Amino acid sequence: MAALLEAIELTRYFDMGRKQRVHAVEQLSLSIAEKEIVGLVGESGSGKSTLGKTIVGLLDKTSGSVKFRGETLPQKYAPADFQRLATKMQMIFQDPYSSLNPRMTVGEIIAEGLRLHSDKKAPEIKETVADWLLKVGLQANHMSRYPHEFSGGQRQRIGIARAMILGPEFVVCDEPISALDVSVQAQVINLLRELKETMGLTLLFIAHDLSMVRYVSDRMAVMYLGSLVEIGKADEVYFDPRHPYTEILIGSNPEPDPELERSRPSTAIQGEIPSPVNVPEGCRFASRCPRVMEVCQHTTPELLPLKDVDRQVACHLYT
C-alpha cells in the first residue's frame, strides 16, 4: 500500500505568552494509505482537531512535515498553496451551526469552491451544485435557502457537499456526527461510506464515539496529549486493546447492552487529562496510568510495533 498522506514528526505548539506553551501535537508520525479510513480517537484536549487542521494546512506546522503523494507540503501555506491544494484536500467541520456562513445561501456556500477552483461557467456550476444537493439527500431547490432553515443533520450534509464538490482525494472529518441524533448519525455515516466507495476517498475520521469509529474505520489511532499511543486495525484495537489508555477508553465507553454493562466492572479512571501546557518528561499518561512503572516517569516511550499482533503501541510495558 502506497501512503497517500504522511505526517512525519509533525509538531504544533501554541504560544500563550509568559513562556507558556501548549504542546498540542508533538512529534507525531502517521501515514494513511490510499482509500483508507483512519479513525482518530482521544479525549478532548488530546490534540485531535489540531492534528487534522495542521495536516490540511489550516494551521502552520511548528516543525515536522506532511507529505501528500510524495510531495512535501509547505510549512506555512501561502494563498497560492491553498488554491492549489484545495482541490485535493478538504475538511468537514464538527459544528454544523458555526461552520456555514449564515449570510450566504446554501447554493453560494456549496458553489464557492467550484467558483474559485474551476473555470466552469455559472450555469454549469449551478447544475453541479444541484447534483450534489441530490447526492447528499437534499433537494435542488434548497439552493436558494439559508443555513438557518435546515436541521443539524441537513447542515452537516451541506458541509459534506461543500467539501466533496471539488472531488478531493483526502478529507479530514472532524467529529462530523457528534452534534447529531442517533437516527441522523447513521444517515451521515452511510453517506460518507457511499462517497468513499464512489469517489475513492481517503478519510481521517476524528470522533469520540468509539463504537462508531470502529464501525467506520479500517484502522484506529488513539491519541493522548498530542501523541499517538496506539494504532492498528480498528476491530483489533477495539476488541484487544494493548495500551493501558486505550483499554480504559474502551472500557469507559458504555454499550447499548444492559447485560454486558451489568457484568463488567467499572473501569472509570481517576483524574482528568492534564493540561498540555509545558508537558513534563516521560510518558504523558504516567500520571493516570494504573500500571505505571518507574521508567515511565522519565523516559518517553516510542511508538513501536508489537511482536504478536499487527499493532504499534507507545508503552514501556512492551519494550
- Please give the residue ranges that form the binding site for another protein (CB under 8 A): 43-44, 151-153, 181-187, 189-190, 208, 210-212, 214-215, 235, 238-239, 248-249, 251-261, 266-270, 272-273
Helix segments in 241-298, DSSP class H: 244-252, 258-263
270 vs 294, beta carbon nearer another protein: 270
| Whole-angstrom distance, CA of residue 145 vs CA of residue 108 | 10
132 vs 285, beta carbon nearer another protein: 285
* Shortest distance (Å) from residue 19 CB to another protein: 21
Give the SS3 label for residue 141. helix
121 vs 263, beta carbon nearer another protein: 263
What is the helix (H) or strand (E) element at residue 56, kind and residue range? helix 48-56
Residue type, 83: Q
* Shortest distance (Å) from residue 192 CB to another protein: 11
* Shortest distance (Å) from residue 215 CB to another protein: 4
What is the helix (H) or strand (E) element at residue 234, kind and residue range? helix 234-239
CA 58 to chain centre: 14
* Shortest distance (Å) from residue 169 CB to another protein: 25
251 vs 282, beta carbon nearer another protein: 251
What is the helix (H) or strand (E) element at residue 124, kind and residue range? helix 122-135
77 vs 238, beta carbon nearer another protein: 238
* Shortest distance (Å) from residue 22 CB to another protein: 16
152 vs 282, beta carbon nearer another protein: 152
Q: What order of strands is seen across the sheet that includes strand 227-233?
A: 89-92, 170-174, 202-206, 37-41, 219-224, 227-233, 311-313, 304-305
67 vs 288, beta carbon nearer another protein: 288
99 vs 154, beta carbon nearer another protein: 154
Rounded to the nearest 10 degrees, how much is the dihedral formed by the CA atoms of 228, 70, 52, 80?
A: 150
* Shortest distance (Å) from residue 150 CB to another protein: 11
**DSSP β-bridge partners for residue 17:** 20
- Provide the strand spans (E) within 99-250: 170-174, 202-206, 219-224, 227-233
User: What CA–CA distances, in Å, run from 194 to 96, 105, 135, 177, 190?
Assistant: 20, 26, 10, 16, 6
* Shortest distance (Å) from residue 254 CB to another protein: 3
- 3-state helix, strand, coil split of the chain in percent (to 5) is 35, 25, 40
* Shortest distance (Å) from residue 44 CB to another protein: 6
